[in-house]
Amino acid sequence: MHLRHSYWHRFPQLIGVLGLVTFGGCLGSDSKPPDGSPRGVSAVEAGNSGAPPVPSASVASEKQPGAAVPIGPPESVDDDGRVVLGTEPEVAEAPVAEQVVSNATNATPDNSKAPKALSVEANVATAAERNQTIAVDWPMPQAVLFVSGQQHGYIEPCGCTGLENQKGGLIRRDTLLKDLRERGWEIIPVDVGNQVRRIGRQPELKFQSTVEAFRTMGYRAAALGIDDLRLSSIELIQMAGSDGLNESPFLSANVSVIDESFFPSLRIIEAGGRKIGITAVLGKEHESEIQSRDILYFDAVEKLKPVVQQLEQEGCDFKVLLAHASIEESAELARQVPGFDLVVTAGGFGEPTLTPEKIEGSQAVMVQVGTKGMYGGIVGIYADAEQPIRYQKIAISSQFKDSQRMLEEFARYQQRLADAGFEGLGLTFTAHPTGRTFVGSEACGDCHSTAFEIWQETPHFHATTSIVEPDNDRGGIPRHHDPECISCHATGWNPQKYYPYETGFISPEETPLMNGSGCENCHGPGSEHVAAELGEIDVTSDRLKELQQQMILPLDKARDKCLECHDLDNSPDFHFDEYWEQVKHYGKD
């Protein structure tokens, strides 16, 4: 274990609790959507399977994306008794393929012939989101908070094609922040946490790259999300903790890692003549999810009260709470601890609401950040009693070109994965559930020559080459050392859990027969079938037929197999019938 130089003076403090430390052990997705539905399944289908409907409060697809809404006194009250802030222009309804589903129960029983609406988890940018106008009517703000969060490992969009139509990514976020600063605005980026979603060495390296990117982008405050807290405690404080020599943006009022000195409870920022106080909390709902004895959790309300008092004593005239909590708990915290002007919540799914929500019983308004890092938001602060803040939700779309310095950071991340190797990332080659091993598509081509020739003309054949020698808009960075990429771009890996099977792909040089997304990814390992057909093992005629049947993937089951890779992250608009026509093949010649 190597500690950064700046932590050597605290090494006795660390080693004293070493026995209690918990060691965790694509640049895109880390796991399934938070609603629990299978990746690649729309909200319509999730509704049919009994998955909970997505809260409608988190969906604003029918409203104009990116509309700048001045925030001031309440203008009206809607049918549910909620205060409506500002006004929203009427816009034409978007095409079905560009809408998101606000409630799974809205689906009709038979929609097989109609285009399916996309889940709020689907990453498809509308035309409006690719051509946003940002705060064009705003007067010069004193300062601007940029809010983000719930990245969940999506440091860039996970899709391998169609990036023009996808949202998210630190590469684009950096460009957006640069553009905002070029207006002469004082930008204060803040984040509500959950940079990763899994545990293990790769998420630790991903977290490290995110922390370095945050420093480069000038983040001033960031909450610790519950999934971040599942990382190794030592790694967490090395990468994100503050000490006398380094200041990290990460803070928490009610969570400490090992002791309370590594993550401060508040931060005070002076900008544009304002004194802005920021603190962060982890919601009570997450206390039971804490798995390490190194993580100390305290009651959020009790910890926030002295923090707010300190911010007031320091003369802060704008106070911000970064709440890694549900929408409901975030609002309740603002009611129980008066004094906050803005609450940024990690609660909600899909895209953030178009306007901030007034928190009844407090002076605060609340904004959401959405999921997968697909959105950001800007909050302009003004010395105007009528309109003290203005807000705009921003889709992190291809409208914002790739940042060169973030591409360099991503290249370093991929190099760290390469240096670690699959073994260093904690991966072991595991027996396939069938007990069989992989032989490669060429062995299949001996008898299934027509199907083999069809495969050679599909993108599946070039899947490995496409990330070894990328010729696309991902900066030319090789990604074949990345388990989250190679699991769908080579043969012999579990595509949803990112680990290799025995005799699966190791590298283009060591396992050339496993290059490409081959026959066995869909039909299963073919070792016994091939050996029997070639006479390498003696089998009865009945056993031979049984082995042949094992390799058949019925068309009615093929869709589910395709969805293991063509999921919401990689192919959010996937339609099996359309894709099947491009790769269609049948049996033996």
Output the pLDDT for position 46: 31
Identify the band that residue 571 occupies on the pLDDT scale cut at 50, 70 and 90.
confident
Fold of 139-425: Purple Acid Phosphatase; chain A, domain 2 (3.60.21)
Q: Where are the domains of the chain?
A: 139-425, 427-583
Q: Percent of the chain scored above 70 by pLDDT? A: 78
Token pair of 353 as six digits: 């609401």
Token pair of 64 as six digits: 């104009």
The total of other beta-carbon atoms located within 10 Å of residue 259's CB is 15
pLDDT at 271 over 80: yes
Fold of 427-583: Flavocytochrome C3; Chain A, domain 2 (1.10.1130)
Do 367 and 346 touch, CB atoms closer than 8 A? no
At residue 76, what is the residue type?
A: S
pLDDT tens digits, one per residue of 4-39: 333 333 333 333 333 333 322 344 444 433 333 333
- Which residue in the block uniquely carries the two structure tokens 């070493």? 18
From first CA to last CA, the distance across the chain in angstroms is 57
* DSSP designation for 254: S
Cα separations (Å) of 159 from 97, 122, 213, 488, 519? 17, 11, 21, 11, 22
Cα separations (Å) of 58 from 95, 154, 344, 373, 569? 20, 20, 14, 15, 19
At residue 479, what is the residue type?
A: R
Across residues 388-414, what is the average pLDDT? 96
Single out the residue of 187, 261, 253 nearest to residue 224, CA to CA.
Answer: 253
β-strand pairing of 389-395 with 69-71: antiparallel
Identify the band that residue 242 occupies on the pLDDT scale cut at 50, 70 and 90.
confident
Output the pLDDT for position 197: 92
Do 202 and 417 touch, CB atoms closer than 8 A? yes
CA angle in degrees (0–180, nearest 5) for 484-31-96: 100
pLDDT tens digits, one per residue of 468-507: 998 766 678 999 999 999 999 999 999 999 999 999 999 9
pLDDT tens digits, one per residue of 146-175: 999 999 999 988 766 677 888 999 999 999
At residue 560, what is the residue type?
A: D
Least confident of 56-60, 66-70, 175-179, 191-195: 56-60
Single out the residue of 272, 220, 283 nearest to residue 249, CA to CA.
Answer: 220
Identify the band that residue 121 occupies on the pLDDT scale cut at 50, 70 and 90.
low
Single out the residue of 84, 147, 75 nearest to residue 391, CA to CA.
Answer: 147
Across residues 303-316, what is the average pLDDT? 98
Distance of alpha carbon 353 from alpha carbon 414, whole angstroms: 35
Output the pLDDT for position 130: 94
Output the pLDDT for position 119: 57
Output the pLDDT for position 70: 38
Mean pLDDT of the chain: 82
**133: three-class secondary structure by DSSP:** coil
The total of other beta-carbon atoms located within 10 Å of residue 18's CB is 12
pLDDT tens digits, one per residue of 519-566: 999 999 999 999 999 999 999 999 999 999 999 999 999 999 999 999
pLDDT tens digits, one per residue of 417-472: 999 999 999 999 999 999 999 999 999 999 999 999 999 999 999 999 999 998 76
Do 501 and 474 touch, CB atoms closer than 8 A? no
Token pair of 194 as six digits: 């959950």
